[in-house]
Structure 1
Amino acid sequence: MTDLAISATGLRKAYGDKTVLDGVDLAVPRGSVFALLGPNGAGKTTTVKILSTLVSADPGSGPVRVGGHDLATAPQAVRAAIGVTGQFSAVDGLITGEENMLLMADLQHLSKSEGRRVTAELLERFDLVDAAKKPASTYSGGMKRRLDIAMTLVGDPRIIFLDEPTTGLDPRSRHTMWGIIRELVNGGVTVLLTTQYLEEADELADRIAVLHDGTIAAEGTADELKRLVPGGHVRLRFTDPAAYRSAADALAGAAADDEALALQVPSDGSQRALRSVLDRLDAAGVEADELTVHTPDLDDVFFALTGGGAGVPAQPKPQTKTLTQEA
Structure 2
Amino acid sequence: MLPIQCKEIMKKFLIGIDDYISEKIFDEKGRIGEEECVSDLLRSLNGKGKGPRGLEITAKDFEEYLQEIISEIGLQGKVKFCMETEDFSKTFEGAVNQADYALALKFVDTSSDVTMAEHNSWEIYYLFQTKVARIPGEESERDNLKWSDKASFVETSGQVERINMLKEIIGDSAIYYHYFCPYGAIGLNEKSHVYRKLKNDLSEPLFNECERLGMWITEKWHKKVSGIFANNDFVSSWVYFILMHYFDSANSKNISFTHPLEFKKSPDGQKQIEERNKILKRDKDTLEKIIAHLGTNGTEKRKITAESFQKRGYLRLIEVQVDFPFYEYELALSPSSPAPDEPKAPGGGGSSSPSP
Query: Same fold per TM (> 0.5)?
Result: no
Question: Which fold has the larger relative contact order, with Cα–Cα distance below 8 Å and residues 6 or more apart in sequence?
Answer: 2
- Between structure 1 and structure 2, the one with the greater Rg is 1
TM-score, with structure 2 as normaliser: 0.25
TM-score, with structure 1 as normaliser: 0.27
